[in-house]
């Protein structure tokens, strides 16, 4: 099932906001006691849902070579193993630079759903897609419990530096599993959280380490496939999971 392309206008965003989303969009199994591994820091998504969000400020943070997941985008794209005609969900799409890469990789026979809880980001993604002539992309306003995509609608779900923002990870993972086609792939990128090694920002911002996140995804019924080594990654890791056939 394919959703129609939607240009997210200001009026449409207002109506979507009215729906009322409840929230956002080595091994490091040791978790510092400062954070409960089942809870995220309060207000972690509030900034992104601010109606006065300055997208340009986040462009300067997200789309810069000093950011690992941006500078390594070609390697990450290769790890996603996108085939022409596939449908892709970019969860926590942010400013949408991966969504645009996916749209070009899957071609006009495929489709990309840019899912986020930030209306301002979605408006930017829609405008940038139009400016770039990208017609196989739909912005989707997600909630804290659902990516709002139909069952068995996507071949790939991509989550980049966003999983630790899931306020209700069990419901979100259930929503993701439903949206994946049988045999569909989940690519998860997040931060290593290693007490004594990771930056203080990560220790205070990311609720748990890689092993915990892997266990949560497997507990949702997705099978671990592998971990792909990205040469330039120092703080991030990339894991792949698959929905059983």
Give me the tens of pLDDT residue by residue for the chain, a chain 245 residues long: 444 333 343 333 333 333 333 333 344 444 444 445 557 777 888 888 888 899 999 999 999 998 999 999 999 999 999 999 999 999 999 999 999 999 999 999 999 999 999 999 999 999 999 999 999 999 999 999 999 999 999 999 999 999 999 999 999 999 999 999 999 999 999 999 999 999 999 999 999 999 999 999 999 999 999 999 999 999 999 999 999 99
Q: What one-character DSSP code corresponds to residue 62?
A: H
Confidence (pLDDT) at 47: 85
Confidence (pLDDT) at 110: 98
Confidence (pLDDT) at 41: 77
Q: Among candidates 150, 145, 156, which has minimal Cα distance to 4? A: 150
Confidence (pLDDT) at 35: 47
Q: Report the C-alpha gap between 102 and 100 in whole angstroms.
A: 5
Beta strand spans in the chain (E): 87-91, 111-116, 137-141, 154-160, 180-191, 223-228, 236-242
**SS3 category, 139:** strand
Please identify which residue in the block is written with the tokens 């419990």: 145
> What tokens appear for 61 in the block?
């943070």
> What tokens appear for 39 in the block?
């809870």
Residue 21 lies in a domain: yes
Confidence (pLDDT) at 49: 86
Strand 154-160 relative to strand 137-141, pairing: unpaired
Residue 3 lies in a domain: no
Residue 5 lies in a domain: no
Confidence (pLDDT) at 9: 37
3-state helix, strand, coil in the chain (%, to 5): 35, 20, 45
Q: What one-character DSSP code corresponds to residue 74?
A: H
Residue 2 lies in a domain: no
The total number of structural domains that make up the chain? 1
Q: What one-character DSSP code corresponds to residue 1?
A: -
pTM comes to 0.85
Residue 25 lies in a domain: yes
Please identify which residue in the block is written with the tokens 């089942």: 38
CATH code at 21? 3.40.50.150
Q: ∠ CA(182), CA(184), CA(186), 5° rounding? A: 140
Q: How many CA atoms lie within 13 A of 88 on its CB side?
A: 33
Q: Report the C-alpha gap between 103 and 240 in whole angstroms.
A: 20
Q: Report the C-alpha gap between 68 and 4 in whole angstroms.
A: 33
> What tokens appear for 150 in the block?
């139909």
Residue 4 lies in a domain: no
Residue range of the domain that includes 45: 10-242
Q: Report the C-alpha gap between 91 and 7 in whole angstroms.
A: 18
Burial class (CB in 10 A: 0-12, 13-18, 19+), 36: exposed
Q: Report the C-alpha gap between 66 and 241 in whole angstroms.
A: 28
Confidence (pLDDT) at 36: 54
């Amino acid at each position: 099932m394919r959703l129609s392309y939607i240009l997210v206008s200001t009026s449409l965003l207002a109506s979507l906001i009215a729906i009322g989303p409840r929230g956002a969009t080595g091994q490091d199994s040791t978790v510092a006691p400062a954070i409960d591994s089942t809870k995220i820091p309060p207000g972690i998504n509030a900034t992104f849902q601010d109606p006065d969000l300055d997208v340009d400020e986040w462009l300067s943070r997200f789309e810069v070579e000093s950011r690992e997941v941006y500078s390594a985008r070609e390697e990450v794209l290769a790890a996603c193993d996108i085939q022409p005609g596939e449908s892709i969900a970019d969860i926590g799409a942010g400013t949408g630079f991966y969504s645009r890469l996916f749209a070009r990789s899957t071609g006009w026979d495929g489709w990309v759903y840019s899912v986020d809880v930030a209306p301002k980001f979605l408006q930017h993604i829609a405008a940038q897609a139009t400016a770039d002539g990208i017609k196989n992309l739909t912005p989707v306003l997600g909630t804290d419990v659902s990516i709002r995509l139909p069952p068995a609608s996507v071949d790939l779900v991509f989550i980049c530096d966003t999983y630790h923002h899931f306020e209700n990870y069990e419901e979100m993972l259930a929503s993701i599993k439903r949206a994946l086609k049988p045999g569909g792939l989940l690519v998860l990128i997040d931060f290593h959280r290693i007490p004594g090694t990771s930056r203080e920002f990560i220790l205070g911002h990311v609720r748990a380490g890689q092993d915990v996140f892997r266990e949560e995804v497997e507990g949702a019924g997705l099978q671990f496939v592998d971990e792909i080594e990205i040469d330039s990654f120092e703080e991030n890791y990339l894991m792949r999971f698959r929905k059983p056939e």
